[in-house]
Amino acid sequence: MDDNNVNLQLSECPQAGLYLFFKDGSKATFTREHIQKKAEEYWNDPQKISPQAKAAGKFQRCTFCPLRKEDDFCDAIRPVMPFLEIMDKYISFDRVVAVYREREGGLCHVADTTMQQALIYVSIISLMHYCPIGRRYWKYYRGVMPLEGGEESAIRIYLNMYRLHNGNKEEMNKVINTFVAQLKVTTRNQVERMALISKNDAFMNAFIKMHSGLTFLTMDMDIEKTVEAAFQEFEKSLLEVPKSNLQIER
């Protein structure tokens, strides 16, 4: 792999998850199986996470977490821990080839992007799949492609909300306000936990970018106008497609 050419074997990415390919030949894998296997190893190794870091107030669960009295670590940190060593070699704006597969055997999305953009996937599964609070909102992320920008993701989330709440704007606004407020707290706490165990800014920036993208959902950003503008832009692009000169015999 160099600056102009990338050779990928999609057979290297069989499971649902994110795969990162670096210019130095390194590879990082983010799948549920790999995360589960490595997180416990990482947590139980005092050389990787010191007892002082574990005991720090900022490392504890959120105050509104239903598991805050449990004597273990925050579930949302699990997807991050196994990859801290390799990630500390890179910074936010380093380029990386990211391969995202939504489900096993499903379509692969490939992007030449920055570390912080690629790692938004990790922030999504951290706060939407592993966090007990975030799991209340995971259904709104159905179909979100994490390698996209924040506005595109917000549009998909809004459309999911619209469908799941049958277009009830009052109900949607309540969910959006609660969702964004709670995610603001969990994101801040996650960034503070990260600072205790890693010098890498890519993970931290990914969490911040994920939350920033959700500001499109708040009422002062007028998400409905954003959605309408996106559809108008799509319709315009269809009208601009040149007509084919292909003659079809009947």
Average pLDDT score over residue span 179-189? 88
Question: Tokens representing 238?
Answer: 């269809």
CA distance 215 to 219: 9
Cβ contacts of 16 within 8 Å, gap of 6 or more: 31, 32, 101, 102, 103, 104, 106
State which of 47-61, 122-136, 146-160, 207-221 shows the largest mean pLDDT. 122-136
Q: Which of 11, 31, 7, 237 shows the shortest CA–CA distance to 122?
A: 31
Per-residue pLDDT at 97: 92
- 110-153: pLDDT as tens digits: 889 898 888 888 888 888 888 999 999 999 988 888 887 777 88
CA dihedral sign, ordered 9, 12, 16, 17: negative
Per-residue pLDDT at 232: 72
Q: 248 pLDDT band (50/70/90 cuts)? A: very low
pLDDT score of 27 more than 90: no
- 72-111: pLDDT as tens digits: 778 888 888 777 777 778 888 889 999 998 888 778 888 8
SS3 18: strand
Q: 250 pLDDT band (50/70/90 cuts)? A: very low
Q: 171 pLDDT band (50/70/90 cuts)? A: very high
pLDDT score of 221 more than 80: no
Mean pLDDT over the full length of the chain = 81
What are 113's strand-pairing partners? Answer: 96
What are 108's strand-pairing partners? Answer: 101
More confident of the two residues 217 and 244: 217
Q: 238 pLDDT band (50/70/90 cuts)? A: low
Q: Does the model's pTM come out above 0.85?
A: no
